[in-house]
Structure 1
Amino acid sequence: MARKIPEKWESSLKAVKAVQVAFDMDEKIQLAIRKEALDAGFSPSDQIRDILGLPTNKRPKRPRLTVSLAPADYQLLAKKYDLSPDQQLEIKKRLMDDLVNHVNNNDK
């Protein structure tokens, strides 16, 4: 007897069956596709799907940047900002300020 998939998981069934394909290609080609994606407001994955004539998700994605921070990174940043490593929210605010200032200073 086959097991019934819970209704709340049925919409995820297609994603579970999808297979990620990685492309090892010339850095110049990768950079060009990433730049096209950025200019079009797409993720690199959506840009590749668009180039290949495959459907893309038309819902706008929340624009955000990410970085992984290890405990040692929080130690370094806490020292930089004269904070405790436990003050992760304040460290994040300072990081955002640094990134905004970096872009504003480079736009001049």
Structure 2
Amino acid sequence: MVRSSARWSGSDAALRSVQVAFDVEKQVIDAVRYAAFKNQLSPSDQIRTILGLPCTTRPVRPRLTVTLSDADYALLGQRFGLAPEDKRKIKDALHETLIAFAREQKAPGIGQM
């Protein structure tokens, strides 16, 4: 039997874990997602909380993600008057757009930015 290195020994339990999917009504999905949002948890951690299971800690650096294609960068470059290749400046413009959106929505905590 091949033994894993000490570096990977902590992941042995995770390798034995099985992801479980629930086919439920949209109302249940919405309720879990809303509770997760309200409690600042991932939907998975919210489900673990509901089930009385231990949860992982909250992310140290919460973030939003979006996948952008080259075509998306071309459209965004046009929108912001930037070269599509200047992904850093486009990302900065997107960042500012999201902050402006949150301010318009009067999202909690935005006034402190």
What TM-score, normalized by structure 2, do the two folds share?
0.87
Output aligned runs, 1:27-38, within 5 Å.
27-38=26-37
Q: What's the RMSD between the two structures over aligned residues?
A: 1.4
Q: Which runs of 5+ in 2 are unaligned?
A: 108-113
Tell me the alpha carbon deviations over residues 17-75 of structure 1, each in whole angstroms, 9 at most, x when there is no partner. Answer: 11111222111110111111111111100000011111111x22121111111111111
* Aligned length, in residue pairs: 106
Q: Which amino acid aligns with 2:64?
A: L
Shift in Å, 1:15: 1.3
Tell me the alpha carbon deviations over residues 66-85 of structure 1, each in whole angstroms, 9 at most, x when there is no partner. Answer: 11111111111111111111
Shift in Å, 1:106: 2.4
Output aligned runs, 1:31-46, within 5 Å.
31-46=30-45
Q: Name segments (4+ residues, structure 1) moved above 4 Å.
A: none
**Residue of structure 1 in register with 2:58 after alignment:** 60
- Aligned partner of residue 100 in structure 1, secondary structure: helix
- Aligned partner of residue 12 in structure 1, secondary structure: helix
Q: Tell me how far apart the structure 2 counterparts of residues 8 and 72 of structure 1 sit (CA, whole Å).
A: 40
**Residue of structure 2 in register with 1:87 after alignment:** 86
**Residue of structure 2 in register with 1:49 after alignment:** 48
Q: Which runs of 5+ in 1 are unaligned?
A: none
Q: Tell me how far apart the structure 1 counterparts of residues 23 and 71 of structure 2 sit (CA, whole Å).
A: 32
